[in-house]
Structure 1
Amino acid sequence: MESAIYASTPLAGADLPGFELFQTSDIEEARQWGTRVFCENRLSRLDTRKPIRTRMYYRRLRGLGVGRMSYGGEVTIDPGTFDSFVLVQMPLRGRELIETGGETVCSTPRTASVLNAHLPVLIRHENDTEKLVVRIDRDVLERYCIQHLGQALRAPIAFRPAMALDTTAGQRWMRLMTWLHTNLADDDEGLQSPLIAAQTEQMVITMLLTCQAHNYSEALAQEDRSIAPAFVKRIEHYIEEHADEPITILDLAEHAGVSTRSIFTGFRRFRNTSPMLYLKEVRMRRVHEELKRLIPGESTVTAVAFRWGFNHLGHFTTDYKRRFGESPSETLAH
């Protein structure tokens, strides 16, 4: 079943009148359009008996490039490395298999891909796939990140390549994308106002930096944590230290010295989650880290999941795949 975000979006299959439209059935012309909009690339048709029907709507907004596209047929796109931009791709239908940085992302309407500016990329775009895309200039992205951090970057920004779209953060991102595409299509002048365009650029980049995990996420979150009450930070620290132990909401209340109601209110207001969902996220992250460290044969997914408190393997596997874009067995096999 498709995510509700996609079921309600007006973007799939609709014209976007405020966008420039490219369309062709010629593979070389499609490659040239890709070069013009994104970067130099190698485009190959996987089934030469079937024609392609490339269709791309695209529009620039300051440091952003916003669009919707489909190749119609099954193709591979080999752009090498995106040196000057980050690309976020959100399938409306169909599927893409993307290899980047030693990982493989299966991108569907439930899982977007975030392709970094400094890692090689290979995309297999399957038949009848259509996607939204947002291209973000690397220098603009880094400038905003530096402003939020208040210090220089020690290394390039490296996003996790799979973005789960049926999480709270993923749905927040998709609501913004629907708003952005719709308003760019409906309003030829409003978003082009220098002030509004600058604010829109900032909103999109800040949303990506906060919705999708990357190597500066923890540093950026430290600033937000300072606003939260001390008991919220004490509970977070307790969960981090005791995630492998049985923990109840009463345990957290006793440790923090506040009521359970205060805990739920504090986490909802300052973390946009609940304390038990925060615990689940920490445990899920620990499972992921342990599976990546293990050598196949040393242990099993079941043993690791049980050790971190996941007793229903079916639910765990579903949640894990949404969170990391691959099954736990695939992580263990890497």
Structure 2
Amino acid sequence: MFDSGKYENWLPKKFFAHFHQSKDVLDWTMKANGPHHLHIPDPQKIDFFHEGIQIGETTFGVIRYSTLVNIHIDNLKHCYIFNVPLEGIQEIKINTSTIYSSCDVAAIFSPDQPFSMVLEQDCQKQMIRIPRKNMENHLMRMLGYKITQPLIFDIQAPMQGSIKKWFNLAMSFQDFLLENNTLMDFQSIWTNFENNLISILLNSQPHNYSLELERRLQGKPSYLNHIESLYKENLSQPLKLSELEKMLGISRERLYRDFHTYFGQSPVAYLRNLRFEETYKRLKEIKTWENVSSIAMDCGFQQLGRFSQEYKTRFGEFPSDTLKNNK
């Protein structure tokens, strides 16, 4: 059963709920999202299901009520929820505004932001629930100071550009979780992925700290640009932080602090992301004498089995599929 309490086990857990009684539906959804009001005009028609997977306090899943429902939430308190209808429409009232969310326009609900919502009877939606503390802690690392006001996203998120790419990345990881429930080193993969997921969302969807984040990035120390150039020129080489410290004359503490402030991740994770981006680019433009293994090794990947799995997580397809799709 879905559990929204404290998690000490990061291993992924699949969940499935299917109810026909209003009370059972409310009990389940309150465990997922906290206290809220649920009104079902025609309770005899309720055919509720919620299916997905949970890792830590983050969940990915699909939800459907199968009949018209009215929902009111005063305060999510502990989480941010991204949802996009796969079918149907949801009408959302927030402050004095009414907006409509469909497959073309997602909605992002933030804590400390009361809202009401009407779901059409045929509405089925994909939901991504991210814990508030993880989102806010990551924002504070990027800003370099403790926030005093709640992080509030613009509720409307048109499914295009960077948000569409963000959603596709999240869905690829959901599929990966559902297919690969046990990995010896999964915790490190998940931690890096969640940090990237949050970082991309914070930089893609407007919120009340967007301007401050932009200013921080504009004030990025020049040595970080130099490191980025070094990384790109030496992707096949192992990362040695001690050499960077000596070359640049900075401490490892500052190196990590600045990377988290301006990139939202560690130097190691940043280099790994560059390696994947370069691999993807080269596979899309592959030369006749190249193959997947040679490109992967040129970009610094030595464990090809793990590389292939993580590549699919990031891009939604295996490296060999990228080649086939571009022939």
| Counterpart for residue 155 of structure 1 | 149
| Distance of 2:118 and 2:169 partners within structure 1 | 26
Given that residues 18 and 186 in structure 1 are in contact (C-alpha distance below 8 angstroms), is that contact kept between their aligned partners in structure 2? no
Long gaps (5+) in structure 2: 1-11, 223-327
8 A contact 1:191–1:197 mirrored in 2 = no
Alpha carbons 1:105, 1:113 under 8 Å: kept: no
Q: 2:94: which partner in 1?
A: 100
2:26 counterpart of 1:31? yes
* Aligned amino acid, residue 160 of structure 1: D
Distance 1:72 1:192 in 2: 39
What secondary structure is seen at the aligned counterpart in 2 of 1:68?
strand
Deviation at 1:178, TM superposition (A): 1.8
The alignment's TM-score, normalised by the length of structure 1, stands at: 0.59
Counterpart residue number, 1:290: none
In 1, distance between residues paired with 2:31 and 2:39?
17
Cα–Cα, structure 1 residues 191 and 47, in superposed 2: closer, same or farther, change >3 Å?
farther
TM-fit CA distance, 1:47: 3.4
1:122 aligns with 2:116: yes
CA contact (8 A) 2:74 2:112 kept: no
Q: Distance in 2 between matches of 1:32 and 1:185?
A: 25
The one of 160, 165, 177 equivalent to 1:172 is 165
Distance 2:13 2:140 in 1: 32
Distance 1:114 1:143 in 2: 18
Residues 243-287 of structure 1: CA distance to partner in whole angstroms, max 9, x if unpaired? xxxxxxxxxxxxxxxxxxxxxxxxxxxxxxxxxxxxxxxxxxxxx
If the length of structure 2 is used for normalisation, what is the TM-score?
A: 0.60
Identity percentage of aligned residues: 20
CA distance, structure 1, for counterparts of residue 198 and residue 99 of structure 2: 22
List per-residue Cα deviations over 1:128-157 (Å, max 9, x = no partner): 111111111111111000001111213111
CA distance in 2, matches of 1:183, 1:226: 37
Matching of residues 90-239 of structure 1 within 5 Å: 90-166=84-160, 168-190=161-183, 193-226=186-219
Instruction: Note if contact 2:53-2:174 (Cα within 8 Å) is conserved in structure 1.
Output: no
Task: Provide the residue aligned with 2:78 in structure 1.
Answer: 84
- Mapped partners of 1:191, 1:119: distance in 2: 39
Contact 1:18 1:185 in 2 (8 A): no
Letter aligned with residue 76 of structure 2? F
State whether residues 105 and 161 of structure 1, in contact with CA within 8 Å, keep that contact through their aligned partners in structure 2: no
Structure 1 residue runs of 5 or longer lacking an equivalent are 1-16, 230-334
Equivalent residue letter for 1:56? H
Cα RMSD (Å) of the superposition? Answer: 2.2
Is residue 144–residue 205 contact of structure 1 (8 Å, CA) maintained in 2? yes
Q: Letter of the 1:146 partner, please give it.
A: M
